[in-house]
Structure 1
Amino acid sequence: MANGNIQSNNPTREIVLCAQSKITNSGNSLTETTTRGPYFDAGSSKNVSALLGKTAYLNCRVKNLGNRTMSPQVSWVRHRDVHLLTVGRYTYTSDQRFRAIHQPNSEDWTLQIKYPQHRDTGVYECQISSTPHLSHFIYLTVVEPDTEIVGGPELFIDRGSTINLTCVVRNSPEPPAYIFWNHNEGIISYMSSRGGVSVSTERGETSRSVLLMQNAKPSDSGSYQCNPSNAKPANVTVHVLNGEHPEAMQHGGNQRMGPSLGALAFISYVLLAYC
């Protein structure tokens, strides 16, 4: 019976010891969490590209900052002129394009830049006012997408051949949502009675749109424009030749005729006779 009593009491004792162990471990864990200072999320971005004139957002994620009154502050500093831009949720610059964004209980501290210009390109520092202070650097690049129609600004096409125009969009932070084609300021309709019109578009770091118009006619001559959704348009002038020579067209249809070889020889003879 005694042995039975001892065996029946042991499980209770083990439960108590286990509970005490969990309390101790949880206390140690809590102490470690509260004593460890703030730190940056390792996955935070270090390079940001922004479109010229479009709002840019620089974000750093701070872990374990705490909510106490004396918690360290998060600031944004521009390295170009070592200018303090924000502290906490407050903006410390007269440039109204800059704004501090932070939601309560959020780990994200964001610097908003409205209408970024090329001069805004450079290093920005997200800084925690701990001891020693901690820094996370982000390099902002302000880019202006470049649009080009390959082979422009003028293209000469033989009548009956295929008009093949390729539009290339470079330096865009994101692919354009769409690329429209215009002919003489009117949107090209792929369902028009003309027929033979097709467009294929590839979106990526460099986006391309190819316009094909089969069986070119003189009425297809004119100005063609490529219109990306997030970049300036590009233009090209297409001439559909009806047996003309491109050189003649470039001179308004009138070729400039120089003196004949016979005339040059006569002039040379006269000059030599008087020398």
Structure 2
Amino acid sequence: MRSVSVCGNGEGYGASDGDAGGAAETEISSLRGPYFDRSVTRNVTALVGRSAYLYCGVRNLGDRPVSWIRHRDLHLLTVGSYTYTSDQRFSTTHSPRTEQWTLQIRFPQIRDSGIYECQIGTNPPIGLPMMLTVVEPVTKIIGGPDLHINYGSTINLTCMVIHSPVPPPSIIWTHNDKEVNYDSPRGGVSVITEKGDVTTSYLLIQKARYTDSGSYKCIPSNANPLSVSVHIMNEKPEAMQRGNQLRIQSYTGLFVMTSIIISFFY
């Protein structure tokens, strides 16, 4: 057995130059005992209904067990690869190559939010707490549920997706349950989507017509769909102009008739 001494500068002696550093590190690591890899994410956000994963990296574990505990009720969830709760949504997988113990929560709900602790069975035990936040993305349409738009103006429908850990991969717009066609002969229809902590999709329809009335639905791929009713108001400009001319003619005729009646009596 090769003996290795370690000096204050971290250099090893009594080994060949090629493996001195690695041997010294192995000796120090084995003397240290089990410890956590603290580079893993300790604040995890998951979507309602989509599996959540908490990753726990352990070094120098040896034959000691790794457990997962839920803090809110101090409930023991798993020990090693065995599940110790009647809630079968919880399970643990172990990757020997990465020395990683992963707690999986299938179909998580808002109530599953809270602190979970990865614990090594030393004496006394040592633990690494992690915070799980389960969110349900929310869809909002500005100005809904009813929008009144003047004939000939631009319809601007603004759909926002909030509380989503990641932007929705896609957002679909429908009009009266048919997907909006941005290349239709009608023309003047476009969409702009800005992704971020809050994802916003703008549906723009120029020169609003009566046929543009109806139900519009914003359908994000990772959130609830939401509808808005669009009502096109006022008459067509040419109809309004003809109507004004008819009213002017009626007022003129009435004025002439009134003048004749007054002249007759006086």
Q: What band does the TM-score fall into relative to the shorter chain?
A: 0.7 to 0.9
Structure 2 counterpart of 1:60: 56
1:84 and 1:240, CA in 2 relative to 1: closer, same or farther beyond 3 A?
same
Deviations 1:187-226 (A, max 9, x none): 0000111100010101111100000000100110001100
Structure 2 counterpart of 1:77: 69
The offset of 1:29, in angstroms, is 4.1
Instruction: Output the amino acid matched with 2:137.
Output: P
Structure 2 counterpart of 1:265: none
The offset of 1:80, in angstroms, is 1.3
Q: 1:152 aligns with which of 120, 124, 144?
A: 144
Structure 1 counterpart of 2:209: 217
Structure 2 counterpart of 1:109: 101
The offset of 1:106, in angstroms, is 2.9
TM-score (norm 2): 0.79
Instruction: Output the amino acid matched with 2:83.
Output: T
Distance 2:23 2:182 in 1: 71
Contact 1:218 1:242 in 2 (8 A): no
5+ residue gaps, structure 2, are 1-12, 237-266
1:104 and 1:241, CA in 2 relative to 1: closer, same or farther beyond 3 A?
same
Q: 1:48 aligns with which of 34, 37, 44?
A: 44
1:129 and 1:224, CA in 2 relative to 1: closer, same or farther beyond 3 A?
same
5+ residue gaps, structure 1, are 1-16, 245-275
* Structure 2 counterpart SS, 1:102: strand
Instruction: Output the amino acid matched with 1:37.
Output: G
Deviates more, 1:178-187 or 1:19-28: 19-28
* CA-atom RMSD in angstroms: 2.0
Moved over 6 A (4+): 20-26
Deviates more, 1:101-110 or 1:116-125: 101-110
1:60 and 1:179, CA in 2 relative to 1: closer, same or farther beyond 3 A?
same
The offset of 1:242, in angstroms, is 2.6
Q: 2:233 aligns with which of 209, 234, 241?
A: 241
Instruction: Output the amino acid matched with 1:53.
Output: G
* Structure 1 counterpart SS, 2:158: strand
* Structure 1 counterpart SS, 2:144: coil
1:206 aligns with 2:198: yes
Distance 2:155 2:90 in 1: 48
1:190 aligns with 2:186: no
